[in-house]
Amino acid sequence: MLTRIDHIGIACSDLDKTVEFYRATYGFEVFHSEINEEQGVREAMLKINETSDGGASYLQLLEPIREDSAVGKWMAKNGEGVHHIAFGTADVDTDSEAIRDKGVRVLYEQPRRGSMDSRITFLHPKDCHGVLTELVTAANPAAHKDEEDH
């Protein structure tokens, strides 16, 4: 089942300024960055720590690149701030089905590609006490080892 907090997603209007805040204030460095066209965001993953299951915990900073993206629409209503929480799992397919069987709406019929080639799905916030919840199966961590230097 769920093994860790994979990341906290934070919506921001200026990714570069927000990255600089977390770097200057807390010393967090960018582990990975990308543009996810499907999700309509430019993002940076700031590694917080390693975890006992071989994964890591991150802050995910998300800047919408389109107003009609999910993050863009959310920011239009809420402004900057915590957008979602993500839990790590070894098997997003099995765990999302088990959670669906408990009556929680899973937003994607099949998991999709997420940051760093992970596999993800989301749970409906109305079924999770107002919290948009993401389930994440990380890609092979060794595949991204070189990104720690970026």
So which residues are the catalytic ones? Answer: 7, 43, 60, 84, 134
Alpha carbons 42 and 46: distance in angstroms, whole number: 13
Angstrom distances, CA of residue 47 to CA of 7, 22, 44, 132: 9, 11, 10, 21
Take residue 117 and report the two structure tokens written for it: 């080639």
Which H/E stretch holds residue 73? helix 70-78
Question: What single letter denotes the amino acid at residue 17?
Answer: K
User: 24: Cβ–Cβ under 8 A, 6 or more apart, which residues?
Assistant: none
Q: Decide if 77 contacts 107 (C-beta within 8 A).
A: no
